[in-house]
Amino acid sequence: MPRDNGLDLRGLVEPDRVHRRVYADPHVFDLEMDSIFHKVWIYVGHGSQVPKPGDYYTAQVGRQPMIMVRHTDGKVHVLYNRCPHRGAMMCGARHGNVGKAFMCSYHSWQFDTDGKVRSIPLVQGYEGTRRSPEDPDCSMKPAARVESYRGFVFASLAKDGPTLTEFLGEAKIGFDDMCDRAPEGEVEIVPNCFRVIQHSNWKIFLENQLDALHPAVTHEAAGRAAFDVEKDIERRTGKAPLYYHYLSAFTTPMSKWDQFQTVNYPNGHCLLQGYMGLRPRDPDTLAYEAVMRKHYGAKRAEEILSVNIHHVLLYPGLSVQSPLQQLRAVRPLGVDRTLTEIWHFRLKGAPEAIYRRSLGYYNLVNSPATLINADDLENFWKCHQGLASDGGDWVSFHRNAGQDDEENGVIKSRLGTSEAPMRNQFRAWIGMMASGR
Amino acid sequence: MAKKRAKRPVAKKKIKPGKAVAATPKPASANGVDVQREVEQFLFRQAEILDGRRWGDYIGLFAENGFYWMPASPEQTTGEGMPSIFYEDRDLMTVRMKRLTHPHAWSQSPLWGTSHLVSNVTVEKQDPRNGDVVVRSRFHMMEFRRETSRHFAGSYVHHLQRSAGGYRITLQRVDMVNGQGPYDYVLQAWV
């Protein structure tokens, strides 16, 4: 059996349970950086974050600090945030515009916005040396591969591997559902990123995204509080704003969550069906649906509007909530520290009232003053504490194991509370971690 | 690499030194009442109520149409239609209170407390007709939760409506100096 530092990776993952070391062992985390985050497609950002030439945004891919930048020809490049001369970071701010060229603040080397070296001061000093300014290693190093799907930009730091669309497979429905809901077929990012750090392993967050067993328990307090106020507003005014329902939906009892199916794709991606009933019959929704029919025709508009998704998880680092245009990028910082970067989008061509729904969810659920994630993060911390202890070795994913339907590599759980999404994530995890070992 | 060096961007506007600011602002008073002292007492009482976790009393400081607002970024001039960290009317504040006091608000189980200091209180505007004021101040909040301290600091702008029973808040704007950095855990209550 291949081993790394005494680690028997395949021994840590069984079809229905995993060893706690996959969450708590810093050595496993190091291997994850190399074998997963520095290899597969990792989300960098959305093209609308950098609308003009010279606009850039920094992003972490695994452990690598990268820059997403729009070049003068309109193409988006992803470069290492590092000067090839003496290694200084090129962009110290999180985002901005570099104008025509990047300039290193240390010795004033300049680079075009595709990373190619543009000028070196007193360049004659390199004459007769082993380094020619024409060498590719005098330019900023690009990510090995960059691809985008409907404006969502991904980078892979490995030269070889499947294309982005091959990697996403059918799970690209997360992006399709979000973009198709825009009458113009495109979304535009709202330039604000909420960032929250959780004291737990990154995989605990991913598992929770499709865990239909937890909302009724974890979010009981927030759900109940919102339900009470929602009823009170209805008594006073007849109708409460829709965003109360985002929160009060968490009072749905545990047994009801079984009605929502999960769909589990290759490479660890998974989908949870919608439960919030986001197609009300109020005047705003009807006006929006009329715009959709105008752009797409009645048949296609109906197809788009009847898609019913809650979350799509794009393994290993992205959660897309397409009907409310929310996106959470997961950036592992250490074995027990994880950053989430949270964004939301406007549907191009949709009425303002529809954007306000997305905004309501963003503010109430995804802001740093979240009424919901406060209790999730508490549980994630507790999980990590327990998994770092010697109180037991195995984490159980036995729920409804062996009772799911598989067809062409896609696993559909008959019940919403099946632990199929966790089993699916670890199926991908061990495939990526143990490949070549 | 034969390209011309890109010019460094230069600041276009010349920056001039500003005019001297009067060291002592005019004493704010209305009909002989010391407004400065009144608003200070109001802000100090609000901080005490918050640190005492008296959530209901805290909401009671707000007018019926009042808002507690923490913008997502300092340039914002309105919370309407814009991302905010908090943008809560009294109904949403009531949801927050009810969550905090629910026995199953799991994140409330560790020992948790705050201490607010409010200072640099300046009455910026005063309406001579009704006594309403706009007040700017600075705050520093230390929070202790599960063995860890966090610090938040920034400015408050209170829009206070004068009524028979004292001031009530129509808008409280909170801008934290460290509000745009990554949050280590989240904010459970108003700052």
Q: What pLDDT does residue A108 have?
A: 97
B187 and A99 in contact by Cβ < 8 A? no
Cβ contact A88:A104 at 8 Å: yes
> Mind listing the pLDDT tens digit for each residue in B106-144?
988 888 899 999 999 999 999 999 999 999 999 999 999
Q: Please, what is the average pLDDT of chain A?
A: 95
Task: Note whether B3 contacts A: Cβ–Cβ < 8 A.
Answer: yes
pLDDT above 60: residue B52: yes
Residue B11 has pLDDT above 70, yes or no: no
Three-state secondary structure string covering chain A? CCCECCECHHHHEECCEEECHHHHCHHHHHHHHHHHHCCCCEEEEEHHHCCCCCEEEEEEECCEEEEEEECCCCCEEEEECCCCCCCCCCCCCCEEECCCEEECCCCCCEEECCCCEEECCCHHHHCCCCCCCCCHHHCCCECCEEEEECCEEEEECCCCCCCHHHHHHHHHHHHHHHHHCCCCCCEEECCCCEEEEECCCHHHHHHHHCCCCCHHHHCHHHHHHHHHHHHHHHHHHCCCCHHHHHHHHHHCCHHHHHHCCEEECHHHCEEEECCCCCCCCCHHHHHHHHHHHHHHCHHHHHHHHCCCEEEEEECCCEEEEHHHCEEEEEEEEECCEEEEEEEEEEECCCCHHHHHHHHHHHHHHHCCCCCCHHHHHHHHHHHHHHHCCCCCCEEECCCCCCCCEEECCEEEECCCCCCHHHHHHHHHHHHHHHCCC
Q: Measure CB to CB from residue B182 to each of A196, A225, A232 and give the nearest one.
A: A196
Q: Identify the pLDDT of residue B10.
A: 67
Chain A CA closest to residue B1: A118
Of the candidate CATH numbers 3.90.380.10, 3.50.50.60, 3.30.1220.10, 3.40.190.10, the domain formed by A170-434 belongs to 3.90.380.10
Chain A residue with Cα closest to B101: A221
CB contact under 8 A, A367 and B6: no
Averaged confidence pLDDT in chain B: 91
Residue B21: pLDDT over 90? no
- Partners of residue B187 in chain A, C-beta under 8 Å: 368-369
pLDDT for residue B164: 86
Taking the C-alpha atoms of residue A45 and residue A168, their distance in angstroms, rounded to an integer, is 16
In this complex, is the C-beta atom of B144 within 8 Å of any C-beta atom belonging to chain A?
Answer: no
For residue B182, cis peptide bond before it (omega within 30 degrees of 0): no
Q: Which residue of A has its CA nearest to B72?
A: A192
Q: List all residues of chain B from 19 to 58 with a beta carbon under 8 Å from chain A.
A: none
Q: What is the mean pLDDT of residues B68-84?
A: 97
CB within 8 Å: B6 and A99: yes
Q: Are residues B182 and A375, on separate chains, in Cβ contact within 8 Å? A: no
Is pLDDT above 80 for B17?
A: no
pLDDT value at residue A3: 46
The ipTM is 0.94
Q: Which CATH number does A42-156 carry?
A: 2.102.10.10
Helix axes A373-387, A220-237, angle to 10 degrees: 170
In order of their start, the domains of chain B are: 33-176 (3.10.450.50)
Does the structure show a pLDDT above 80 at B13?
A: no
For the record, the structure tokens of B144 come out as: 């202790």
Give CA separation, A160 vs A42, A64, A146, A258, B150, in Å. 14, 18, 12, 40, 44
H or E element: which one contains B151? Answer: strand B148-163
The reported pLDDT for the residue numbered B18 is 72
- Candidates A72, A105, A124, A220: best to mutate against B (most CBs of B within 10 A) is A220
Q: Do A197 and B182 touch (CB under 8 A)?
A: yes
Determine the pLDDT at residue B6: 84
Out of A100, A339, A359, name the one closest to residue B83 (CB).
Answer: A359
Please compute, for residue A272, the number of CA atoms within 13 A of its CA located in the half-sphere on the CB side: 27
Question: Pick from B86, B102, B109: which is nearest to A369 by CB?
Answer: B86
Partner-chain contact B5 A119, CB within 8 Å: yes
Interface test with B, best of A122, A358, A364 (most B CBs within 10 A): A364
Residues in chain A where the model's pLDDT stays below 70: 1-5, 436-437
Which residues on adjacent β-strands are paired with residue B144? B113, B149
**Complete DSSP assignment for B3-69:** PPPPPPP---SPP-PPPPPPSSPPPPEETTEEHHHHHHHHHHHHHHHHHTT-HHHHHHTEEEEEEEE
For residue A123, the chain B residue with the least C-alpha distance is B1
Question: Which residues on neighbouring strands pair with residue A78, listed in sequence order?
Answer: A68
- Residue ranges of chain A that CATH labels 3.90.380.10: 170-434
pLDDT of B26 strictly over 70: no
The residue of chain B nearest to residue A102, with distances taken between CA atoms, is: B6
- The three-state secondary structure class of B114 is strand
Q: What pLDDT sits at residue A2?
A: 43
Task: Name residues whose C-beta falls within 8 Å of residue B153's C-beta, 6 or more positions apart in sequence.
Answer: B138, B139, B140, B141, B176, B177, B178
| CB proximity B78 to A under 8 Å | no
Q: Does residue B173 register a pLDDT over 80?
A: yes
- Convert the pLDDT of each residue in A189-206 to its tens digit: 999 999 999 999 999 999
Within 8 A by CB and 6+ apart from A260, the residues are: A212, A272, A273, A274, A275, A310, A416
Distance (Å) from the C-alpha of residue B49 to the closest C-alpha of chain A?
19
Q: Within chain A, which residue ranges are assigned CATH 2.102.10.10? A: 42-156
Q: Which of A212, A258, A275, A256 is nearest to A403 (CA)?
A: A258
